[in-house]
Structure 1
Amino acid sequence: MKILVDINNQVLFSGETIEFGIFDEPMLEKWAIMDDKNDILFYVIDDSYSLTEVLSIPDDLQPNKYCYTVEKGFYVNPTYSEPINIETEVIKLQQENAELKAKLDNIQEVLDYLVMQ
């Protein structure tokens, strides 16, 4: 298995086949990465990454979640945070919004009552 690591040792991509060269248009040097699990070929333009071959990768490997050095091997990136599920976040915010509106309505009713006194 091969991995691409940036200058901060963050693992960005992994795949059985990763090559650097000129592929298709435009005529730029780039990384060609074959994701064998999903049978997807994609390209990454950056010449500051380094290619490393490893025996195995963590089961939960995601871009930026792990760092890698030859000395330490894989280790959790101290600056990594889990991605936010947008749909779950929207539902949560809608519920909070409804609760705040209800509280505001209650406060308005109390204020109206106090003004009437």
Structure 2
Amino acid sequence: MYVITLKSDDSILGTGKKVEYLSNGYPRLVDGNIIYDVDSVNVYEVSSIPSGINVIQYCYTPSSGFYENPLWFDPENEIHIATQKRVDEAKTKVVSDFLANSF
């Protein structure tokens, strides 16, 4: 198994059973037919990839192994938080407007 990570932050960009290198040195994950810029990524051969490891959500280094990406956030959760914030702001405005016009 192979893990391809971004050099800048070790986040996982892809995983696969086989990597081939093009004539320009760029690695290619055969499973997904994805080509990566050789100057931007690290390619690691690993014995296995634990279940639940998702691209971008996790990082990998040989010394630390697989770990959750500290920069990752759940986009579904972020949408919920942003929506709830807008609802709360709207409620506050309605109450403020009501109180301002009541006295």
Query: Aligned partner of 1:106: which letter?
Result: V
Query: Aligned partner of 1:2: which letter?
Result: Y
Partner in structure 1 of residue 72 of structure 2: 81
Counterpart contact for 2:7–2:41, Cα < 8 Å: yes
Displacement of 1:8: 5.8
Query: Aligned partner of 1:82: which letter?
Result: F
Partner in structure 1 of residue 3 of structure 2: 3
Distance 1:92 1:48 in 2: 33
Of 55, 63, 73 in structure 2, the residue corresponding to residue 63 of structure 1 is 55
Distance 2:73 2:86 in 1: 24
Identity value in percent: 14
The alignment of Structure 1 onto Structure 2 pairs a total of residues equal to 101
Counterpart contact for 2:19–2:30, Cα < 8 Å: yes
Per-residue CA deviations over 1:39-64 (Å, capped at 9, x if unaligned) read: x3211122353433221112122335
User: Scaled by the length of structure 2, what TM-score is found?
Assistant: 0.67
Point out the structure with max Rg over C-alpha. Answer: 1
1:30 correspondence with 2:31: no
CA RMSD, Structure 1 to Structure 2 (Å) = 2.9
